[in-house]
Amino acid sequence: MRVNWDYIKLTLLSITVIGLYGFADHRSKNKKVSDVSIKFLGDNNLYLTETSVNKLLIQNYGALKNRTKEQLALNTIEEVILSNEMVKNAQVYLTINGELISKIVQRKPIGRVEGISKFYLDDLGGRMPLSKHHSARVPIITGKITGKSLEDAYTILNYINEDDFLRKNVIGIHIEEEGKYQLKFRLENFVVNLGGVENLNEKFKNFMAFYAKASKDKSLEKYTTVSLEFNNQVVCTKI
């Protein structure tokens, strides 16, 4: 009887590979977390600290260091981090060295609502709680706060943040009523009656033309209100 050595070699090789894989898998599952690292991504990292994230994880998941990989549920850890209202996005993974890394993107406030309730409006239009760690330098939103007026304030803030001059100089949005919004500037005594959020590009284009001329004439301090409510017009009220 002729022995098929190639078949035997292949079988032995397969058994060896399976054994090594099983050993490596067992070793991997039982490898313990050597360290826990919290990394904040981007430049908006003022509202949540590494200490507060670690405390959140311990309270909701327990201590992570020295746990085995088999005892970890990375998706659950991500959900715990995402439950914090300052977090926009989170990614958790374990390195081959046993380091558990959490990469976190914090939410970005673009306006601060000062009403019966106080909170930030973030860059996605959502409500974001104030932080005990940092107060954002963003325009203050006051007046008649409603769901619709906040949507409009978000639209106005998005436009303002796209323009370098407006972003640096607009410090407040006052809501007189839905569809009637007033802007306050950092260095000027006048207020700008914006009206509604329609035709913002045209309104601000007219305002910038007025501002450039009034700055040149050194007459900005003479005005109390600048109205952009009327089609293609800038109507000013003097002191």
Number of domains in the chain: 2
> Is 98 domain-assigned?
yes
**Which letter does DSSP use for residue 180 in this model?**
E
On whether both 233 and 120 belong to a single domain, the answer is yes
Record the pTM: 0.80
Of the candidates 217, 211, 155, which has an alpha carbon nearest to the alpha carbon of residue 185?
211
Please give the residue range of the domain that contains residue 204: 110-238
Classify residue 139: in a domain, yes or no.
yes
Instruction: State whether 60 and 114 are in the same domain.
Output: no
Same domain, 93 and 177: no
Q: Please give the C-alpha separations between residue 178 and each of 1, 116, 138, 163, in angstroms, as whole numbers.
A: 95, 17, 21, 24
Mean pLDDT of 45-49: 89
CATH number at residue 41: 3.10.20.310
The per-residue DSSP string of 99-142 comes to EEEEEEEE--EEEEEESSSEEEEETTS-EE---SS------EEE
Among the three residues 106, 134, 164, which one is the final residue of a domain in this structure? 106
- 7 band by pLDDT with thresholds 50, 70 and 90: low
Tell me the sheet residues that pair with 89. Answer: 105
Which pLDDT belongs to residue 234? 87
- pLDDT, residue 28, reads 47
Among 70, 89, 106, identify where a domain stops.
106
Helices (H), the chain: 5-29, 50-60, 74-82, 147-161, 164-169, 200-217
The answer to whether position 120 is within a domain reads yes
pLDDT digits (tens, 9 = 90+) for 108-120: 999 999 988 999 9
Taking the C-alpha atoms of residue 206 and residue 188, their distance in angstroms, rounded to an integer, is 17
- Pairwise CA distance, residues 56 & 62, whole Å: 9
The pLDDT of 165-174, averaged and rounded, is 96
Query: Are 143 and 230 in a shared domain?
Result: yes
Over range 62-89, report the average pLDDT.
Answer: 89
Residue 147 in this model has a pLDDT that exceeds 60: yes
**pLDDT at residue 136 above 80?**
yes
Based on the fold, state whether residues 89 and 114 are members of the same structural domain: no
